[in-house]
Amino acid sequence: MSRASIELATQLRERAVADGTAYALIESLTTEVGPRLPGSEADARAVAWAKARFEALGYDKVWTEPVTFPKWERRSERAAVVGAHAQPLVITALGGSPAGDVTAELVRFDSIAALEAADPAALRGKLAFVDVPMARSRDGSGYGAAGPVRSRGPSIAARKGAAGYLMRSIGTSPHRVANTGITRFDADVTPIPSAALSLPDADQLTRLLQRGPVQVHLALDVGWNGEYTSQNVIAELTGREAPEEIVLIGGHLDSWDLGTGAVDDASGVGISMAAGHLIAQLPQRPRRTVRVVAFANEEQGLLGARAYADAHGGADVIARHIIGAESDFGAGRIYGFNTSAPADQRATSDAIAEALRPLGIDYLQDQGSPGPDISPLAAKGGAWGWLGQDGSDYFDLHHNADDTLDKVDPDAVAQNTAAYAVFAWLAAESEGGFGSAPKAAP
Amino acid sequence: MSRASIELATQLRERAVADGTAYALIESLTTEVGPRLPGSEADARAVAWAKARFEALGYDKVWTEPVTFPKWERRSERAAVVGAHAQPLVITALGGSPAGDVTAELVRFDSIAALEAADPAALRGKLAFVDVPMARSRDGSGYGAAGPVRSRGPSIAARKGAAGYLMRSIGTSPHRVANTGITRFDADVTPIPSAALSLPDADQLTRLLQRGPVQVHLALDVGWNGEYTSQNVIAELTGREAPEEIVLIGGHLDSWDLGTGAVDDASGVGISMAAGHLIAQLPQRPRRTVRVVAFANEEQGLLGARAYADAHGGADVIARHIIGAESDFGAGRIYGFNTSAPADQRATSDAIAEALRPLGIDYLQDQGSPGPDISPLAAKGGAWGWLGQDGSDYFDLHHNADDTLDKVDPDAVAQNTAAYAVFAWLAAESEGGFGSAPKAAP
Ligand SMILES: [Zn+2]
Ligand SMILES: [Zn+2]
């Protein structure tokens, strides 16, 4: 890495930590577009917003690429305990749930293993209630552990004949907000209405069950409804020497519908858009191309990222995707950096780590993973960078109504922007790489 | 005050701080009955619950007294920004609001004074949006300051021809919960649909208004619907020497419907019920009667308390209501004590203050006021006691969906119970009084 490149990285870092562009973008997207459920009317407004913003921010090229997917709608949802302890419950349907109106007795499970072990005779016609708490942690590892409650639980319950599925939200908020998120039903089961309870409501049901049988009425008017074509919105700063080599950063433009998608993931979009914008203001373009992608429909299965990898993931193209990094873990400060580069190709990673250190970012060479929308490229052999955000509070907000602008700290956003700008600039300036090489198809 | 009485107060205090009865009552009421909107099906369940609990807790007499009031119902409610920035809003109808379905432009006011000064031509057919933040404080003084936004705002807007009324919730929660509460329309105006926004939603509308006109759709299916007769539930420990003299403590049994009324006011009911229960376990009854009242329908205008004062507020009876204190400010620790006793009748107050001091309670002789349900008695000349709770977090929960059991600290509840037990015991043991004397009608 040249001395001049490092000096410009320092300038970039110092300018970025004092720059409000990313926060202003987050404010604009969450305020003007609001929630951005894939396929909703707001999806198209978000695409138009991203295109216009990229164009205004000094990128050399801006374009869109289509992403087609089935559309899921949430029209109404409610639930209540019925009978002697009648009372309403705060719930939200899981994405992918079918509609349904069920009144049935609860059968509680404190783990997915317990649900799997259940006798179908005990579940038939009942509402499965899976009540697994999620642990709070900086790296969000509790999310992975609780994940199967949402991803696999509904299918397991459906296969055993349950009439519906209720789960404790995968989240850490003690407030009366329920966390949605996608679930997929196995092909061999008939989907059943499936919803998540706020944590206080899950606790309430557990207390009621200690007193005797509990009947719940669950009424969901939600479901798949046709197809929709959204767009990945893509912008580039064209590399001055090796324009065909690409350093990719980004976030996802869609969100769930309950909040305004501020930490998930207007923040990632704003941070990566602003990082490119700051690089665009340097006296010269980086050696390689810096590409910023606002991915479509991450939430329902990385559909924009898969479309991108299909379009740009040929063996030749993977080698030219030098590295990719996505900001999709909220708006907390970045505490750690790493890349997937193998041991004999760490020079550029080492230089980036050095330039990130003044931001309070440690070089954590045994940690990290590709962001969700980078993972389809990574599966094909693309290298990834990890700029690890403090996610201690992320699951207070993730996929629930509390994911709103007031939860975003402008100073943390500026630190993130500085990190992404330094990372993208140095990765694009470097002559070295990170080991991107096409993998044989698995 | 006899040395024996003081010694028993010490025993009572020490037993109470280690006693879980009050918390168990709060858990039971909020879990088994849940929300207790006056006139709802749960109102009757709450009355039955209170009667059964008093009977099980060792009181000498338990009875109910009818309280009749108009019934207000919340059937459904929703709101959304429409147009170019379309997005849903988290709102809740104010108690007393009529039904209505309005789509209109917002006109924002940052104070009630600004609303009062508005030209009716600017408001006619529009939605008034009053956006006044509430300050957080230990004594809840911000609530009084913001109060007119809910109590008077809707009538002012209606008189000027507004089609509906939206207000920033009177509350301090940064979460996506809106705070309800009663409003009253002046007799000379046609009521208009009126609702409160969560704080993030109020901020969102203010940001959108900075960009241009904003249209909102407000659809409330709520309203008054007939009459209902609930009950004040009353229990006594009969005084051993002066049974006709009454020391009254209590809370209110009703709640708003969004949470489970844990801090407002299952806590007050549990604390006062348990305080009497602990006194009942002493070797002898206090000299005077200790009466515990679970008041009906406080939330819609102190209707249970007014019925009680009508039934028991004759000039002769006021003098025999030696003092009254209500716990209705949540479940925070008590930090201050005072009574309304005049300067020449402070001996019993001084003795109580001394016995409360080990609980961390200061004798704040220039502070305090009667609890809401004591105020009709106080207006007639009844003396009041004040056991001031730390309300710093109370308005994060008050009248919104977050008022649930998990927000109640069992240790703080035990401290409260100890304070009420000591207060009621010593007030009932004393030969002295606090200056209760019938006032001439105003
Ligand atoms: Zn995301
Ligand atoms: Zn209250």
The answer to whether residues B357 and B243 belong to one domain is: yes
Whether the pLDDT of residue B440 is over 80: the answer is no
The answer to whether residues A49 and A165 belong to one domain is: no
The CB-side HSE value for B83 (13 A sphere, CA atoms) comes to 15
Give the chain A residue whose CA is nearest to the CA of B81.
A34
Q: Dihedral sign, CA of A165, A171, A176, A179? A: negative
Evaluate whether residue A323 is within a structural domain. yes
Contact yes or no for B405 and A81 at CB 8 A:
no
In this prediction, residues B400-411 reach a mean pLDDT of 98
Residue type at B246?
Answer: I
- Residues in chain A with CB shorter than 8 Å from the CB of B176 are 175, 177, 259, 400-402, 404
- Nearest beta carbon to residue B34 from set A35, A87, A211: A87
Which is nearest to A272 in space by CA: A424, A404, A152?
Answer: A424
Angle between helices A21-28 and A410-429 (to 10 degrees): 120
What number of other Cβ atoms are within 10 A of residue B418's Cβ?
A: 30
Structure tokens at B23: 């918390």
In this prediction, residues B65-79 reach a mean pLDDT of 98
- Residues in chain A with CB shorter than 8 Å from the CB of B32 are 84-85, 208, 211
Band (pLDDT 50/70/90 cuts) for residue B144 is confident
pLDDT over 90 for what percent of chain B? 96
Structure tokens at A184: 């997929």
Cα of A247 vs centre of ligand 1, distance in Å, is: 21
The answer to whether residues B156 and B298 belong to one domain is: no
Which residue range forms the structural domain that includes residue A153?
74-226
The answer to whether residues A78 and A220 belong to one domain is: yes
Evaluate whether residue A304 is within a structural domain. yes
Cα of A299 vs centre of ligand 1, distance in Å, is: 6
* Vertex A401: Cα angle to A400 and A404 (nearest 5): 110
Q: Chain B closest CA to A71's CA: distance in Å?
A: 18
Contact yes or no for A203 and B406 at CB 8 A:
yes
Contact yes or no for A31 and B85 at CB 8 A:
yes
Instruction: Kindly report which listed range (A115-119, A140-144, B188-192, B262-266) carries the lowest average pLDDT score.
Output: A140-144
Ligand number, closest to the Cα atom of A300: 1
Q: Count each helix (H run) and each strand (E run) in chain A, helices first.
A: 14, 14
Which pLDDT score is estimated for B310?
Answer: 94
pLDDT in tens, B353-405: 999 999 999 999 999 999 999 999 999 999 999 999 999 999 999 999 999 99
Contact yes or no for B81 and A34 at CB 8 A:
yes
The answer to whether residues A260 and A370 belong to one domain is: yes
Contact yes or no for A211 and B88 at CB 8 A:
no
Ligand number, closest to the Cα atom of A140: 1
Residue A233 CB partners (closer than 8 Å, separation 6+): A47, A50, A51, A54, A62, A64, A253, A293, A294, A296
- Residues in chain B with CB shorter than 8 Å from the CB of A257 are 88
Contact yes or no for B260 and A87 at CB 8 A:
yes
The answer to whether residues B93 and B142 belong to one domain is: yes
Contact yes or no for B34 and A81 at CB 8 A:
yes
The answer to whether residues A273 and A420 belong to one domain is: yes
- Gap between the Cα atoms of A356 and A349, Å rounded: 10
CATH number at residue A219: 3.50.30.30
- Residues in chain A with CB shorter than 8 Å from the CB of B85 are 31-34
C-alpha pair distances (Å), A327 with each of A264, A391, B68: 9, 12, 59
The answer to whether residues A30 and A81 belong to one domain is: no
- Nearest beta carbon to residue B85 from set A32, A87, A204: A32
Q: Chain A closest CA to B196's CA: distance in Å?
A: 16
User: Assign residue A201 a region: left if phi > 0, alpha if psi is -120 to 50, beta otherwise?
Assistant: alpha
Q: Chain B closest CA to A169's CA: distance in Å?
A: 16
Give the chain B residue whose CA is nearest to the CA of A35.
B87
Q: What share of chain A is helix, strand, coil (3-state, %, to 5)?
A: 40, 25, 35
Cα of A399 vs centre of ligand 1, distance in Å, is: 9
Residue A113 CB partners (closer than 8 Å, separation 6+): none
Q: Are A150 and A183 a contacting pair, CB within 8 Å?
A: yes
Evaluate whether residue B439 is within a structural domain. no
Inter-chain contacts counted by CB atoms under 8 A, chains A and B:
101
- Gap between the Cα atoms of B268 and B371, Å rounded: 11
- Residues in chain A with CB shorter than 8 Å from the CB of B42 are 86-87
pLDDT by residue for chain A (442 residues), tens only, comes to 899 999 999 999 999 999 999 999 999 999 999 999 999 999 999 999 999 999 999 999 999 999 999 999 999 999 999 999 999 999 999 999 999 999 999 999 999 999 999 999 999 999 999 999 999 999 988 888 889 999 999 999 999 999 999 999 999 999 999 999 999 999 999 999 999 999 999 999 999 999 999 999 999 999 999 999 999 999 999 999 999 999 999 999 999 999 999 999 999 999 999 999 999 999 999 999 999 999 999 999 999 999 999 999 788 889 999 999 999 999 999 999 999 999 999 999 999 999 999 999 999 999 999 999 999 999 999 999 999 999 999 999 999 999 999 999 999 999 999 999 999 999 999 999 999 999 876 5
Q: Chain B closest CA to A211's CA: distance in Å?
A: 9
Contact yes or no for A81 and B406 at CB 8 A:
no
Last residue of a domain, one of A195, A226, A257: A226
Evaluate whether residue A36 is within a structural domain. yes
Angle between helices A410-429 and A3-17 (to 10 degrees): 160
Band (pLDDT 50/70/90 cuts) for residue B315 is confident
Q: Which residues surround ligand 2, an ion (CB under 5 A)?
A: B 264-265, 328
Residue B172's φ and ψ, nearest 5 degrees, are -120, 5
Structure tokens at B130: 């009053």
pLDDT in tens, A227-236: 999 999 999 9
Contact yes or no for B85 and A34 at CB 8 A:
yes
The answer to whether residues A346 and A321 belong to one domain is: yes
- Nearest beta carbon to residue B87 from set A35, A199, A204: A35
What number of other Cβ atoms are within 10 A of residue A118's Cβ?
A: 18
Contact yes or no for A27 and B401 at CB 8 A:
no
- Gap between the Cα atoms of B387 and B417, Å rounded: 11
Give the chain A residue whose CA is nearest to the CA of B77.
A76
The answer to whether residues B285 and B337 belong to one domain is: yes
Contact yes or no for B34 and A207 at CB 8 A:
no
Which pLDDT score is estimated for B150?
Answer: 97
Rg of chain A (C-alpha set)? 23
What is the DSSP annotation of A236-271?
EE--SSEEEEEEEEEEES---SSS--IIIIIHHHHH
Instruction: Kindly report which listed range (A284-293, B133-142, B255-264, B321-330) carries the lowest average pLDDT score.
Output: B133-142
C-alpha pair distances (Å), A187 with each of A155, A228, B284: 9, 22, 72
Ligand number, closest to the Cα atom of B255: 2
C-alpha pair distances (Å), A439 with each of A349, A370, A371: 21, 16, 19
Which pLDDT score is estimated for A144?
Answer: 84
Q: Identify which has the larger pLDDT, B439 or B242.
A: B242
Cross-strand bridge partners of residue A260:
none
Residue A425 CB partners (closer than 8 Å, separation 6+): A5, A8, A9, A12, A279, A282, A286, A290
Residue type at A107?
Answer: V
Evaluate whether residue B315 is within a structural domain. yes
Mean pLDDT (chain B, rounded): 97
Give B402's DSSP letter.
T
Whether the pLDDT of residue B187 is over 80: the answer is yes
Evaluate whether residue A311 is within a structural domain. yes
Q: Chain B closest CA to A193's CA: distance in Å?
A: 22
pTM: 0.96
Q: Chain B closest CA to A168's CA: distance in Å?
A: 15
- Residues in chain B with CB shorter than 8 Å from the CB of A32 are 84-85, 208, 211
Please name the helix (run of DSSP H) or strand (run of DSSP E) that holds residue B197, with its range, or none: strand B194-197
What is the DSSP annotation of A304-335?
HHHHHHHHH-SHHHHHHEEEEEE--S-SPPEE
Q: Chain A closest CA to B208's CA: distance in Å?
A: 7
Q: Are A219 and A74 a contacting pair, CB within 8 Å?
A: no
Last residue of a domain, one of B226, B246, B276: B226
The answer to whether residues B218 and B313 belong to one domain is: no
Cα of B296 vs centre of ligand 2, distance in Å, is: 11
What number of other Cβ atoms are within 10 A of residue B256's Cβ?
A: 26
Last residue of a domain, one of B226, B255, B281: B226
- Nearest beta carbon to residue B404 from set A31, A200, A208: A200
Q: Are B410 and B315 a contacting pair, CB within 8 Å?
A: no
pLDDT in tens, B31-49: 999 999 999 999 999 999 9
- Nearest beta carbon to residue A31 from set B31, B177, B208: B208
- Residues in chain A with CB shorter than 8 Å from the CB of B171 are none
Evaluate whether residue A326 is within a structural domain. yes
Cα of A296 vs centre of ligand 1, distance in Å, is: 11
Contact yes or no for A31 and B404 at CB 8 A:
no
Cα of A401 vs centre of ligand 1, distance in Å, is: 14
Cα of A185 vs centre of ligand 1, distance in Å, is: 21
The answer to whether residues B105 and B13 belong to one domain is: no
Give B299's DSSP letter.
T
Band (pLDDT 50/70/90 cuts) for residue B146 is confident
Contact yes or no for A207 and B401 at CB 8 A:
no
Contact yes or no for B405 and A203 at CB 8 A:
yes
Interface test with A, best of B76, B82, B404, B409 (most A CBs within 10 A): B404
- Domains of chain A: total: 2
* Vertex A218: Cα angle to A217 and A219 (nearest 5): 120
Ligand number, closest to the Cα atom of B328: 2
Which residues of B sit within 8 Å Cβ distance of A?
27, 31-35, 41-42, 45, 81, 84-88, 90, 173-177, 199-200, 203-204, 207-208, 211, 257, 259-260, 400-402, 404-407
Evaluate whether residue B440 is within a structural domain. no
Give the chain A residue whose CA is nearest to the CA of B401.
A176
Helices (H), ranges, B118-259: 120-123, 141-151, 153-159, 199-209
Contact yes or no for A32 and B211 at CB 8 A:
yes
Interface test with B, best of A29, A30, A31 (most B CBs within 10 A): A31
CATH number at residue A310: 3.40.630.10
Structure tokens at A102: 């069920």
